[in-house]
Chains A and B, each alone.
Chain A
Amino acid sequence: MSVEKITMPQLGESVTEGTISSWLVGVGDEVNKYDPIAEVMTDKVNAEVPSSFTGTIKDLVANEGDTIQVGELICYIEVEGGSSESSDESPEQTEEPVEDQSTNQDQSMKKRYSPAVLKLAQEHSIDLNQVEGSGRGGRITRKDLEKIIDSGNIPQSGSQTDQSNTQDKSTEAIQQPAQSNKPADVPSAEAGDIEIPVSGVRKAIAQNMVKSKTEIPHAWMMVEVDVTNLVNLRDELKEDFKRKEGFSLTYFAFFVKAVAQALKEFPEINSSWAGDKIIQKKDINLSIAVANENQLFVPVIKNADEKSIKGIAKDIVDLANKARQGKLTNDDMQGGTFTVNNTGSFGSVQSMGVINHPQAAILQVESIVKKPVYMNGMFAARDMVNLCLSLDHRILDGLVCGNFLQRVKEILENMSKDNTSVY
Chain B
Amino acid sequence: MPVKSYIQAVTQAMREEMERDDKVFVLGEDVGKKGGVFKATEGLYDQFGEERVIDTPLAESAIAGVGVGAAMYGMRPIAEMQFADFIMPAVNQIISEASRVRYRSNNDWSCPITIRAPYGGGVHGALYHSQSVEAVFANQPGLKIVMPSNPYDAKGLLKAAIRDEDPVLFFEHKRAYRLLKGEVPDDDYVLPIGKADVKREGDDITVITYGLCVNFALQAAEKLEEEGISAHILDLRTVYPLDQEAIIEAAKKTGKVLLVTEDNKEGSIMSEVAAIISENCLFDLDSPIQRLAGPDVPAMPYAPTMEKFFMVNPDKVEEAMRDLAEF
Contacts and interface: CB of A to CB of B under 8 A. Distances in A.
Nearest to A123: B283
A115 B257 CA distance: 14
Interface string A89-130: 000000000000000000000000011111100000000000
Interface stretch (B128-136, B165-173, B284-292, B293-301): B284-292
Interface stretch (A42-50, A58-66, A136-144): A136-144
Contacts of B254: 142-143
Contacts of A141: 286, 327
A145 to B, nearest CB: 9
Main secondary structure of the interface of A (DSSP, over half): helix
Contact of B326 (A115, A116, A136): A136
B203 interface: yes
B67 to A, nearest CB: 47
A103 to B, nearest CB: 15
Given A142-B255, A143-B203, A143-B204, A114 B285 contact: yes
B327 A142 contact: no
A115 B282 contact: yes
B283 A119 contact: yes
Q: How large is the interface on A (under 10, 10 to 19, 20 to 34, 35 or more residues)?
A: 10 to 19
Interface string B76-98: 00000000000000000000000
Main secondary structure of the interface of B (DSSP, over half): loop
A116 B327 contact: no
A115 B256 CA distance: 11
A135 interface: yes
A135 B283 contact: no
Nearest to B323: A136
A233 B287 CA distance: 73
Contact of A116 (B203, B204, B283): B283
A115 to B, nearest CB: 5
Interface in A47-87: none
B326 A114 contact: no
B203 A114 contact: no
Contacts of B204: 143
Contact of A136 (B203, B285, B327): B327
A116 to B, nearest CB: 4
Interface in B229-287: 254-256, 282-287
B286 A117 contact: yes
B159 to A, nearest CB: 40
B283 A142 contact: no
Of listed A114, A117, A119, residue having the most chain B CB within 10 A: A114
Contacts of A119: 283-284
Contacts of B286: 114-117, 141-143
A118 B327 CA distance: 16
A285 to B, nearest CB: 49
Contacts of B327: 135-136, 139, 141
A136 B325 CA distance: 9
B51 to A, nearest CB: 59
Contacts of B284: 115-116, 119, 142
Interface of B: 203-204, 254-256, 282-287, 326-327
Shortest Cβ-Cβ A-B pairs, 10 listed = A142-B286, A116-B286, A114-B286, A116-B255, A142-B255, A119-B283, A115-B283, A116-B284, A115-B282, A136-B326
